[in-house]
Amino acid sequence: MITQTERLIIRPFTAQDIDALYLMNSNAAMLKYIPTDPFTDREQAEVLFHNVILEDYLQRGFGRWAVEHKADKKVIGFCGPKFIPEFNEVELGYRYFPEYWGMGIGSEAAQAALGKFPQFGIDKAIALILEGNLGSEGVAKRVGMHWREQNEFMGHRINIYAKVLA
C-alpha cells in the first residue's frame, strides 16, 4: 500500500486489477478527455499492465496507482505519478468510474497521493488536462496546483497545472 484515506486505499496495481484496467480504458465517459482509443479487448489491458505500469514501477520506482474504495472493496480508478518524457516532468494523473464522480474522491486521492510523491524523489508535479475538462481542473486546483500554461500533448490542446512539493 502507498497510502490510505478514510474512504480509499492507494496502492500499486497488481495482475488482479487487469479487469479494472480494461473497464477504465473502455468506458467512453471516462475517456472523454483522454486522447486515446477505447480498449476493445482485455488483452490490451494486460499489455498496459505489463508493458507500461509494471515497466514504470521497475524503471522509476513509481507509476500510476490503483485507487480502491474501502466500502466497495473494488478498484474505482487510478491516481498517481507518471514521468512524461515530452515535458521531462512527473504528472499527477487520475481517472475514476463515473459513478464515483462528484463525491470528492478525486481530490481526496490526489491530495493523499501528492503527499507521497517526495518519498519517490518527486519534488514537483504537473497535471496535463485536456481543454474543457473542468472536473479535472477542479481537482488540480483543490489540491493546490496552479495554472502554468497552455500547450499541446498527443495532438490536443491542454492546460498544464503545476505544484512544487518540496
Instruction: Tell me whether strands 8-12 and 3-4 are parallel, antiparallel or unpaired.
Output: antiparallel
Question: For residue range 122-131, what is the model confidence (pLDDT) as tens digits?
Answer: 999 999 999 9
Picking from 93, 97, 82, 86, the residue whose alpha carbon sits closest to that of residue 139 is 93
Whole-angstrom distance, CA of residue 43 vs CA of residue 32: 22
Q: With 90 as the cut, is the pLDDT of residue 62 above it?
A: yes
pLDDT on residue 166: 74
Where are the domains positioned within the chain? 3-164
pLDDT-derived band of residue 35, with 50, 70 and 90 as boundaries? confident
Residue 47 has pLDDT above 80, yes or no: yes
Confidence of residue 162 (pLDDT cuts 50, 70, 90): very high
CA distance 144 to 11: 22
Q: How confident is the model at residue 59 (pLDDT cuts 50, 70, 90)?
A: very high
Confidence of residue 45 (pLDDT cuts 50, 70, 90): very high
Class (C level, CATH) for 3-164: alpha beta
Q: Please answer whether residues 70 and 1 qualify as being in contact, where contact means their C-beta atoms are separated by less than 8 angstroms.
A: no
Grid cell in block for residue 63: 507509476
Contacts of 83 (CB under 8 A, 6+ apart): 56, 60, 89, 90, 91
